[in-house]
Structure 1
């Protein structure tokens, strides 16, 4: 547990008898909060999960039918998380009967000199990985063009985020958790080491022994006055889906789309960042820049695509994805919430456990993070200093830190 003292609370008369009593409350029903609720309920804990929106909403960072499960990390902590995440995704599928993960592989290219090091790290942690010459990659995946050697991780693939959210709620409620939608938390107060008071927008109060805050873009608003949070950058990002050149099942099958990450060439000054993407069944190829959107207040977004960035994304598709149609697209709006060093926050202060800063590369880890958060909340695990609130955060170059490969300072090669 990190040794921070929570901020002083305002003084007022409070009687627990006037409020609802629960053991553990989870604030935020997105991916991380849902995973935490599932894992807490699995441990037999009484759990109340609060979500300010309705089921399957599109207001934050957890919606959409596709996410890359990208294994291309050099940092051992992330590789160990992946060692837990993969079997837990399969466990969630077995528990709920949902189909969540397609093992289509993920490739990374662009001539990055760190690819061999990532391959070595993957092998050291039991993951398959190989480096292919560009000509061989082109023969396997005709829908893409390649630059330099290509790192293939065949155990990676595509996650269905929308289906996963439904599945985690189902798994949590099957084990006794309650999910309460359209319930916006307006205030959190720490009363003692084993008491948290949560006030909702209708004035209803809930007293819990412990609380988990996994509120994504709303984290700073909810607990910035309680915890020594770093500056969390909330941005509005705009990936897009591009239809295939040929609208047919044959074209989809023959292209055999893996997930992909493409690292920018130094001479291509029109690139905003590395590119990530994957095929999304029924919607085409999803592609996007990483973490370069405009900073926003999550309660006051316009959901509009930035035209210059979108035009650059179309240019990328024209030049590098011959299997996709750059002119037939649908832009997507989502939020990113990132720490200065683009590593996660997973920590506990008194009865409050915080999970934040996952955007851009967190989704693949969801069930493993849920497990870690549950253990932190119940006091059965100490916080890892790498993810702590009090760590020194060396600012990362926006959109670039996720493809550095130096251990202990980086996230991953590629994007989401």
Structure 2
């Protein structure tokens, strides 16, 4: 006999765990099902650190980061866990984009300032700069692995059930307020099912709702050994100048941060090869990886570029890089976080539970259609 619950969450990465937390806070009887074991490295949520950067050239995203920051602070308080290291973030390259970011900050009261490249180089000796730098001090580093543990802990303390190593073999829509979720050893009936399955989203819900195009790529950042022990390391984002010939060899924007105990993490953003999440090599594409080492040689004087220790993760991206947060009947989908979603994790959980409760989310995220 099927077990009846208020809500089933399919996918136990960052977004699914945040959804379970928010659902449990609101009193829902929630079960989360994750196909892999706790702490696995097959998706997009593993790893020790992520950047918390408020520098967007889109006002709505700036506002959403501010809302997410409030929830990060709330999670840290209720779990008594430090989750944010406010080491700041430096943004350089693409002066037109940086000016727009600064204008949005000024409109919204976000603390940021331009720093001349020479001054920036003396202040942050591990990095090299050729253009003005947009410094955002109230930003920094998210302790990503600690955050996953915190979400799970507080959700289960509030009554949520998290089942690891439990693949979902099928989701069946049985009405506007009824769905069946099938695993190898149990079935669940619920008025709402939230799918936060990352690279596996299309396979789980492609026949149940019309999704926007989702492209799964294997991304391949790396950790580099720090050689400048005196360097101060903010998070960093570096965008190529589309009109600058010197950047022609770049694959795309570069992001990075210090990961304590592991080195400086750096990577190309959203440039990895398209992949099947069930048939990945987990090995870096060699040409892109060598280009990343070249970037480190030229732009990260505080690291040893030859010590690159590769990391493998997936991005699931929409064409616009806007997330998919939407509902069709009993099915709610959170997907397409496009490599910049982690900073929004607690807010995504809140928005997905809003959809569970027939609430609204920003229109740009309503990207589902009926199958």
What band does the TM-score fall into relative to the shorter chain?
over 0.9
- Give 1:92's match in structure 2, choosing from 67, 75, 90: 75
Aligned equivalent of 1:332? 311
Are 1:376 and 2:352 an aligned pair? no
Aligned equivalent of 1:398? none
Q: CA deviation at 1:204?
A: 2.1
On the 8 A contact 2:57/2:98 being kept in 1, the answer is no
Aligned equivalent of 1:232? 214
Structure 2: runs of 5+ lacking an equivalent = none
| CA deviation vs aligned residue, 1:155-205 (integer Å, no higher than 9, x gap) | 1100111111111000101111000000101111110111110111x1521
- Give 1:358's match in structure 2, choosing from 319, 337, 348: 337
- Structure-to-structure mapping, 1:302-321, within 5 angstroms: 302-321=281-300
Structure 1: runs of 5+ lacking an equivalent = 1-17, 392-416
Aligned equivalents of 1:116, 1:292: Cα separation in 2: 25
- Give 1:293's match in structure 2, choosing from 268, 272, 282: 272
Aligned equivalent of 1:172? 155
Are 1:24 and 2:7 an aligned pair? yes
On the 8 A contact 2:354/2:361 being kept in 1, the answer is no
Aligned equivalent of 1:127? 110
Q: Give 3-state SS (helix, strand or coil) of 1:327's partner.
A: strand
On the 8 A contact 2:324/2:368 being kept in 1, the answer is no
Q: Give 3-state SS (helix, strand or coil) of 1:255's partner.
A: coil
- Give 1:283's match in structure 2, choosing from 230, 255, 262: 262
Aligned equivalent of 1:207? 189
Aligned equivalent of 2:365? 387
Q: Give 3-state SS (helix, strand or coil) of 1:169's partner.
A: helix
Q: CA deviation at 1:111?
A: 4.0
Aligned equivalent of 2:237? 261
Q: Give 3-state SS (helix, strand or coil) of 1:314's partner.
A: helix
On the 8 A contact 2:49/2:142 being kept in 1, the answer is yes
On the 8 A contact 1:189/1:198 being kept in 2, the answer is yes
Aligned equivalent of 1:367? 346
Aligned equivalents of 2:63, 2:333: Cα separation in 1: 20
Q: CA deviation at 1:390?
A: 5.1
TM-score of the superposition, structure 1-length normalised? Answer: 0.86
Are 1:153 and 2:141 an aligned pair? no
CA RMSD of aligned residues (A): 1.2
**Corresponding residue pairs, total:** 366
Are 1:101 and 2:84 an aligned pair? yes
On the 8 A contact 2:209/2:368 being kept in 1, the answer is no
Q: CA deviation at 1:112?
A: 2.4
Aligned equivalents of 1:210, 1:371: Cα separation in 2: 15
Aligned equivalent of 2:252? 273
Aligned equivalents of 1:297, 1:111: Cα separation in 2: 33
Q: CA deviation at 1:321?
A: 0.5
On the 8 A contact 1:111/1:149 being kept in 2, the answer is no
Aligned equivalent of 2:224? 242
